[in-house]
């Protein structure tokens, strides 16, 4: 009988286990999260955002101007006027982008800051809400962040053009159709051959929880890579735009005490394209979503209890500070073709 070299046998088995299990998991961790285990910033933010101002915007949109759904265009107009006035007071060059959907009039609100360069950065958030909901987190929180970014940009003009855009008709029944406000805007830029250096979609920024198990994921594997507590903000992108995702995450980490994680994944993963950034992908632009992960954390998603009282405005303010850092870093980057 041949004598077994147990040491060699154990080493071979460990190699097989590593190649067959550990190596694929490690590769997936790097590819998906880039990597995912990151903490908040460790240096002072270049600007500060007042949580009370964010709360005031959220309460205006979610308590005084609902319902903000597709079937109440008059209310959407009132919301658009409020956003327009705030962006104008902030110092932006503000305009409406009107369009029709099923014979009704809707409009985006656009505010431009900085020099009129050919290329630009786009930051957007939808101001409509799901039917029958106040839409505080979804998405008055994103619009509030957009407005406060305007006040920062008005005081500290960027080095290239930045367009802040508030969209109509992101929610059903128009989600995924050419009548989404962001689809109208993205295609208008493509037709004009405008070089967009980066688009950032602000989609639900205000809900956080420190309770274990408060964060869900679309796949069990992701629980190995990300926290069980819903106390972080997520940068979402797709395969093929890893550099943009890394740059956004790095800039946000430099200016926000809220932990920043990222994910790049195929569109088959539920939620990866569930906001306005999807339409900029279709137009051929780099785009990411900044989100509190929506229904994977906030169980009042598309419900009547999506109210202003449930949001954490201190952490939300830190996230907005992080988004401003993204704008500042991207605007100062070396131009590429524009």
Residue range 48-90, pLDDT digits in tens: 999 999 999 999 999 999 999 999 999 999 999 999 999 999 9
Q: Assess if residue 317 is contained within a domain.
A: yes
Q: What is the pLDDT of residue 332?
A: 86
Cα 127 to Cα 84, 244, 332, 338, distances in angstroms? 12, 25, 29, 30
Q: Assess if residue 30 is contained within a domain.
A: no
CATH of the domain at 201: 3.40.630.10
**178 φ, ψ (degrees, to nearest 5):** -70, -5
Strands 161-167 and 104-113 come out as antiparallel
Band of pLDDT at residue 4, cut at 50, 70 and 90: low
Q: Assess if residue 7 is contained within a domain.
A: no
The residues that bridge with 309 in the sheet, in sequence order, are none
Q: Assess if residue 14 is contained within a domain.
A: no
The two three-digit tokens of residue 209, written as one number: 């929880």
Per-residue pLDDT at 326 exceeds 80: yes
Which residues in 127-193 belong to E strands, given as ranges?
161-167
Strands 233-238 and 260-265 come out as parallel
Q: Assess if residue 20 is contained within a domain.
A: no
Domain of residue 162: give its range.
41-331
Q: What is the pTM of this model?
A: 0.89
Report the share of the chain in percent with pLDDT over 70. 85
Q: Assess if residue 56 is contained within a domain.
A: yes
Q: Assess if residue 17 is contained within a domain.
A: no
Domains: count for the chain: 1
Q: Which of 36-50, 97-111, 283-297, 302-316 has the lowest mean pLDDT?
A: 36-50
**Is 44 or 275 the better-scoring residue by pLDDT?**
275
- 124's enclosing H/E stretch is strand 120-126
């Amino acid at each position: 009988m041949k004598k077994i070299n147990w040491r060699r046998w154990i080493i071979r088995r460990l190699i097989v286990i590593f190649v067959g299990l550990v190596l694929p998991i490690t590769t997936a961790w790097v590819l998906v999260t880039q990597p995912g285990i990151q903490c908040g910033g460790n240096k002072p933010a270049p600007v500060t955002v007042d949580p009370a101002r964010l709360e005031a915007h959220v309460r205006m949109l979610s308590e005084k101007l609902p319902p903000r759904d597709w079937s109440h265009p008059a209310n959407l107009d009132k919301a658009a006027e409020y956003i327009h006035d705030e962006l104008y007071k902030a110092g932006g060059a503000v305009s409406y982008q009107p369009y029709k959907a099923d014979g009704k009039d809707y409009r985006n609100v656009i505010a431009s800051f900085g020099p009129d360069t050919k290329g630009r950065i786009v930051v957007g958030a939808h101001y409509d809400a799901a039917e029958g909901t106040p839409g505080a987190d979804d998405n008055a929180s994103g619009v509030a962040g957009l407005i406060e970014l305007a006040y920062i940009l008005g005081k500290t003009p960027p080095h290239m053009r930045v367009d802040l855009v508030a969209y109509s008709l992101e929610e059903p029944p128009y989600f995924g159709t050419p009548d989404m406000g962001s689809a109208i805007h993205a295609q208008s830029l493509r037709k004009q051959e405008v070089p967009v250096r980066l688009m950032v979609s602000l989609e639900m920024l205000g809900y956080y929880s420190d309770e274990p198990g408060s964060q869900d994921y679309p796949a069990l594997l992701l629980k190995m890579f990300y926290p069980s507590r819903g106390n972080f903000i997520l940068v979402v992108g797709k395969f093929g735009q890893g550099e943009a995702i890394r740059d956004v995450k790095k800039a946000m980490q430099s200016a926000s005490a809220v932990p920043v994680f990222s994910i790049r994944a195929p569109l088959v993963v539920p939620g990866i394209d569930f906001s306005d950034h999807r339409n900029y992908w279709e137009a051929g632009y780099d785009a990411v979503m900044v989100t509190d992960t929506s229904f994977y954390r906030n169980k009042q998603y598309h419900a009547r209890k999506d109210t202003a009282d449930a949001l954490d405005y201190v952490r939300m303010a830190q996230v907005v500070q992080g988004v401003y850092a993204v704008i500042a870093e991207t605007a100062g980057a070396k131009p590429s073709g524009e």
